[in-house]
Chains A and B, each alone.
Chain A
Amino acid sequence: MSPIDPRLQEALDGERDPGELPMDQREAYDRLIAATQVLTAAPQLSVAARVMAEIQQNPAPALAQGPMRRVMRWLGRPRAVTLRLRPVWTLALAAGLATIILLLWGPGDGLTPGRAEGIANFVGHFPGARSVEVVGSFNDWSRGVLHLNDDDGDGIWHAKAVLPAGQHEYMFVVDGERWVPDPLAGRYVDDGFGAGQQNALLIVRPAAVQP
């Protein structure tokens, strides 16, 4: 094995035009380049499924963040909660909640749903946010249509809207750029984009059957 001429090394390092090389070195250059091109063929393998399966068995990666942020993330993550209630208590609870809602947002809100419509209440806790709006299947995911308000500056944002009765998917858009599923929604569905993101799910009951 003999040393390669420095000019050939320079050409292989991209520091010299290979066209300037003498004929014998040009041949050596072409031979080495052809050899490296052979080696660039990618193996017909994939470990993606294996890696993702292993990742899914583990929680999110260890984050370099404080305990408070971890607590907030834990609080904000949807979790299944099983509640066992006797039917009679369920009815009583529903009636109680309906009464509270009527007292808080009943007459005087200016919203008059039709027979096949209902009133949706959107509430989110976003302290420090400059703006919060709702986008969803009911407004073609359009921005600038339904804004939440935080008149007293306590970080709790509200909005109400008359929506067609039925099931709707939605997300909050915070400060015009951060899309967040409603942490209080209780129900979520995959957004269908394949990245594991979820939309919050809202069920609007027709006003005619609302208590």
Chain B
Amino acid sequence: MVNNGAPDVEVVARVLGGDGEAFGILIRRYEPGLLRFATRMLGNPDAAADAVAESLVRAYRHLAQCRDPVRLRSWLYRITGNRCRSHLARRHTNDISLSEAPPLADGSDAWAELERSEQVALVERALAALPAEKREAFVLKHVEGMSYEEMAAVTGARIPTLKMRVHRAREALLAALEEVVR
């Protein structure tokens, strides 16, 4: 009887104790973020769904190897990031094509103030044009709201390296946005 608000550590213990259904709680908790991350990485909602589904099944099967369930979120993002990289490697390119850029579910008020849908597409295009590692760093930092420490746990990269990737990604995005303003 795991309550849906139970800490990750408690839910993981129940799953490892044989309560496979409790894994559904973890899915509901982390699925939206993982799907968003994979969609931004792969540019294709279907490919993202495949990557996240494979990652979650893999996480379930190897849950006992998650040595620190307190950091379960980082562990799940790491698995999903690896699946996305494998997917991109199979496509022999780190860039996602514009035709595959995902439609966004909705626009925010902030964006409505900034510009219209053309600029939404522009942000996606600029993001898609980034090399995968910079795109990953930018998405983890600004879309998933992670600290550099957590990003390091997810990617395995050092914090100065991650900072540099995020800085370069910002420069590319800002340059693309300024192109439209001119």
Contact = CB atoms under 8 A, between A and B. Distances in A.
A4 B174 CA distance: 9
A129 to B, nearest CB: 16
Interface residues of A, number: 49
Contacts of A56: 20
B123 A38 contact: yes
Interface string B155-182: 0000000010011001111110110010
A48 B105 contact: no
Interface string A80-92: 0000000000000
A39 to B, nearest CB: 5
- The secondary-structure label for the interface of chain A is loop
Contact of B172 (A1, A44, A50, A54): A1
Given A46-B31, A61-B62, A62-B64, A28 B24 contact: no
Nearest to B61: A61
B89 interface: no
A79 interface: no
A63 interface: yes
Contacts of A107: none
A65 B31 CA distance: 28
Contacts of A48: 24, 27-28, 31
Interface in B15-49: 15-16, 18-25, 27-28, 31-33, 35-36, 39-40, 45, 48-49
A33 B110 contact: yes
Contact of A38 (B33, B104, B171): B104
Interface in A51-95: 51-52, 54-56, 58, 60-65, 73, 77
Interface string A102-118: 00000000000000000
Interface of A: 1-4, 9, 12-13, 28, 30-48, 50-52, 54-56, 58, 60-65, 73, 77, 179, 191, 193-197
Interface pairs A-B: 4 shortest CB-CB = A196-B21, A36-B142, A64-B64, A47-B53
Given A28-B174, A48-B24, A55-B60, 6 more contacts: A4-B167, A43-B105, A48-B31, A52-B24, A55-B57, A197-B21
